[in-house]
Structure 1
Amino acid sequence: MAANIFGRYVWLIEQFRRYDRLTYEEVNDHWHKCGLSYGDEDDLALRTFHNHRKAIFDIFEVEIACDIKGGYKYYISNPEELENDNLRIWLIDSYTAMNQIQADRKLKGRIIFENVPSGHKWLNVITDAMRNNQVLHITHHGFGKPESWSFDIEPYYLKVVKRRWYVLARSPYYSELNRKKNSEKGGNRPENVYMVYALDRILDCQTTNATFHMQEDFDINEYFRGCCGIIHSEEKPIKVIIKAYGGGSDYLRTLPLHESQRELDERKDDEASYFELEVCPTYDLYQSLLAQADQIEVIEPESVRKQMRNFAKNLMSYYKE
């Protein structure tokens, strides 16, 4: 029981996400059927249930409240706040899947995951450094670089994109270099330079005795505003209109290219559907657009449409008979 206590917490959260409101008796009934209990006589005791509620609030900051007037129905308080927290939902969904696999051995070998080099081996080192504001010394081998390079970083944030982990960090080296250039030659180079590193490209990662203070004016949401992946852009987001054909429309509805995506019902016709995004035209955007193959067409602006045309020409040159 103790080994799977975390699984119990996640399971309990998932019950209220799925059924909305439940009495303790209904929760206990679901517990017997879930496959995680230890036989018919192993109830989820009322005291244990309340202890789990407290632990869930302490760990996940998810409050399971009780509606006394409504028949002692329990429910998640502020469910919208939980569903909008991508990190918490990702953790809960991931552990829920693992719970189900453990509970039902018939599923063993029938759930397949792609092997993605995530670089998760450095997660503990980086998160500890973030918690203690410690400078990290990493050895990084970037794509297209002839050899690796060792340097210090100040880890600010971790981000997951397409199951790959990235660390966004302030670069002491480039920040100091810009400061010196501004002082010696004049100019307005940014005095705080931020870089993004894929964890699977990090060969070594060690904490140092040096500490840092996060820049108070740094806004992670502003830094990635309009970005479709991990590539940062200094340009302001622009409006991109996409015309989707056939099944491409349903695909975009269920898996939006960006959080700003919205469907333009006023432009919909029998042939296709139209979508608008407010994004930065980075390589991440073009990768997402090209992934839709012949199911979408960029309508506006002409600059993005022209770039897509260039990609199409290059593809055609590769497949000439």
Structure 2
Amino acid sequence: VTDWLLNSAAMSNVLSSVRDVSERIFLEDVPSARLYLSQVISALREQLQLHFTYRPYTRVNPTRDVVIEPYFLKIFKQRWYVTGLNIRDKIIKTYALDRMEDVAIGSEKFTIAPDFDAENFVKDSFGIVFTQADPHDVLIRANTRRAKYMRALPLHHSQREEIHDSFSDFHYRLRLTPDFVQEILSLGPDVKVISPPELKAMVTEALRSALDQYGLK
């Protein structure tokens, strides 16, 4: 958090002095930080329950009267997410702040289970899909051009590189989740999954589904 704040402050200082060329500077938007981030942080700090209505993209009708005990926040691909214990379902769930409505901080305090460690909870996940599945040893092969990008901006903190003459092998230790599959697909033909076979199957199935959209086999 300290590093992130320092980077943000440094960027703010730079941008505040370039108003005369602001029409030629294009920034990425983080819309989910505008409405409810301060409320969620307050509930997180005070360990108070969070009440809201949720509109997931996977359903037409919103889920009303959602109550969670917020455990931690994470920003991923320009969106803020809060993860916590859903009181009604008694399981830990993740919610995107830009899909939350009518957010209110409750008056009932909670205590996080002593055996819960937020850093350990997220360390084997790529993005914001958190499962209890076992992490896998992943090997992805990238051509030399793509390897430079992956070297400069690692996909995951567990990334380890083996450099060869015409390619690089990137090793990871993480869970196989849909958002990680989407990340691999976004790299196109520059990369190839070498192992494990479960991940190769997930990527292959996603590619087949994409080809089916165009009537190709």
Say which SS state the counterpart of residue 250 (structure 1) adopts.
helix
- The equivalent residue for 2:5 is 91
SS of aligned partner of 1:312: helix
- The answer as to 2:212 corresponding to 1:317 is yes
**Cα shift readout 1:71-97 (whole Å, capped 9, x = no counterpart):** xxxxxxxxxxxxxxxx22222212212
Query: What 5-or-longer segments of structure 2 have no aligned partner?
Result: none
Give the superposition deviation at 1:219: 0.8
SS at 1:151 equivalent: strand
1:297 shift after superposition? 0.3
The amino acid of 1:280's aligned partner reads R
Quote the sequence identity (%): 30
User: Compared with structure 1, are the counterparts of its residues 124 and 131 closer, same or farther at alpha carbon in structure 2 (3 Å cutoff)?
Assistant: same
**1:103 CA displacement:** 2.3
Q: Which amino acid aligns with 1:263?
A: E
Task: Give the conservation status (yes or no) of the 8 Å contact 1:117–1:200.
Answer: yes
Q: Which residue pairs with 1:279 in the alignment?
A: 174
The total of aligned residue pairs comes to 215
Secondary structure of 2:176's match? Answer: coil
| Matching residue within 188, 192, 196 for 2:94 | 196
TM-score, normalised relative to structure 2: 0.92
Cα displacement (A) at 1:101: 2.0
1-structure distance, mates of 2:19, 2:121: 44
Q: 2 CA distance for matches of 1:168 and 1:117?
A: 18
Contact map agreement 2:73 2:80 (CA 8 A) in 1: yes
Q: 1:157, 1:168 within 8 Å by CA — same for their partners in 2?
A: yes
Say which SS state the counterpart of residue 52 (structure 2) adopts: strand
- Quick check: 1:294 aligned with 2:184? no
Residue 98 of structure 1 and its aligned partner are, at CA, apart by 1.8
Counterpart in the other structure of 1:131:
45
Q: Say whether the 8 Å CA contact 1:119–1:202 is kept in structure 2.
A: no
Contact between 1:245 and 1:273, CA under 8 Å: does it hold in 2?
A: yes
Which amino acid is 1:315 matched to? A
Equivalent of residue 85 in structure 2, options 148, 156, 170: 170
Residue 159 in 1 paired to residue 74 in 2?
A: yes
User: Unaligned regions of 5+ residues in structure 1, if any?
Assistant: 1-86, 176-192
In the TM superposition, 1:1-321 aligns within 5 A as 87-149=1-63, 150-175=65-90, 193-265=91-163, 268=164, 270-320=165-215
Residues 43-92 of structure 1: CA deviation (Å, up to 9, x unaligned):
xxxxxxxxxxxxxxxxxxxxxxxxxxxxxxxxxxxxxxxxxxxx222222
The structure that is strand-richer by fraction is 2
- What does residue 50 of structure 1 align with? none
SS of the aligned residue for 1:241 comes to strand
Structure 1 CA distance for aligned equivalents of residues 190 and 120 of structure 2: 31
Residues 138 and 195 in structure 2, CA contact (< 8 A), matched pair in contact too: yes
Which protein is richer in helix relative to its size? 1
Partner of 1:20: none
**Equivalent position amino acid for 2:184 in 1:** L
TM-score (norm 1): 0.63
- Measured on the aligned residues, the alpha-carbon RMSD in Å equals 1.6
User: What is the identity, as a one-letter code, of the residue corresponding to 1:293?
Assistant: G
Aligned equivalents of 1:234 and 1:305: distance in 2?
A: 20
